[in-house]
Amino acid sequence: MAKKRKAGLITVVVVGLLAIGAVNSCVQSLSNAGSSDSSDTTFSYDLSSPGDDQAATDDELDPTPSPLPAPDIVITEHTGQAANLARTELVAQGLVPIFVDASGSPVPDATGWSVASETPVTGTVLSPGMVVRLTVTPPAPAPPAVSPPQPAPPVPDQGGGATAKCNDGTLSYSAHHQGTCSHHRGVAVWYR
């Protein structure tokens, strides 16, 4: 078994050496022919497999796959959404959002604004990179802050111990509220 394997290996080596010798001899004769002949010699090689009837095209030789066409994008509803959320969704789909106000003027920063309408309309099919125009409205102004009512400042005792000032301007020194300033058109201000 080892002898057969050795004989096979020797045969392969001998055939390889013979092939190398044949190639060297061809190259030698071609170079000799080229140096003695002044005419240009052109060699062409047919690399097609035996039986190939058709030459390979450039596409068949290029191993780089061609990119797949980008999928179409269907516009979804953004009306009523926050402008920033609409921008995020459109950019994620490969579209380019632009913001304008009701007059059509560009809005560079639509933070806090909301989408009033969009062009093209919902359901339109677009290709990646196309522009979607969003008309936005500013946030409603905040209502003015209402401060709680302040209690009336205490009225200083102007009567040296008076309990009330009557509507006619006189002071009352009554110990109880009942009946105070009854003959002076009622109480204007209580002191205590």
Structural domain contains residue 12: no
Are 78 and 131 within one domain? yes
Q: Is residue 133 part of a domain?
A: yes
In this predicted structure, what is the pLDDT of residue 38?
Answer: 47
Residue 151 is assigned to a structural domain of this protein: no
The answer to whether residue 174 is domain-embedded is yes
In a domain, 177, yes or no: yes
Residue 153 lies inside a defined structural domain of this protein: no
pLDDT tens across the length of the chain (192 residues) = 566 666 666 776 666 656 666 556 655 665 665 555 444 555 454 555 555 455 555 555 556 666 666 678 888 888 889 999 999 999 998 899 999 998 989 998 888 899 999 988 888 888 888 899 999 999 888 788 888 888 766 655 555 678 888 999 888 888 888 888 988 889 988 887
Same domain, 129 and 182: no
Geometric angle at alpha carbon 114, from 112 and 115, rounded to 5°: 150
The residue range of the domain holding 98 is 73-137
For residue 29, being part of any structural domain is answered with: no
The identity of residue 118, as a single letter, is E
64 φ/ψ sector (left φ>0, alpha ψ -120 to 50, else beta)? beta
pLDDT of residue 134: 92
Same domain for 125 and 78? Answer: yes
Q: What is the per-residue DSSP string for 31-86?
A: HHHHHH--S--------SPTT--SPPPHHHH--SPPPPPPPPEEPPP-TTSBHHHH
Domain count of the fold of the chain: 2
Tell me, yes or no, whether 133 and 82 share the same domain: yes
Amino acid symbol at 91: V
Residue 98 host element (H or E): strand 96-100
3-state secondary structure of 190: strand
Q: Which pair of tokens denotes residue 56?
A: 């390979």
Q: Give a yes or no: residue 21 inside a domain.
A: no
Q: How far apart are CA 123 and CA 39, in angstroms?
A: 72
- Note whether 92 and 123 are same-domain residues: yes
CA distance 98 to 96: 7
81's tokens: 């959404």
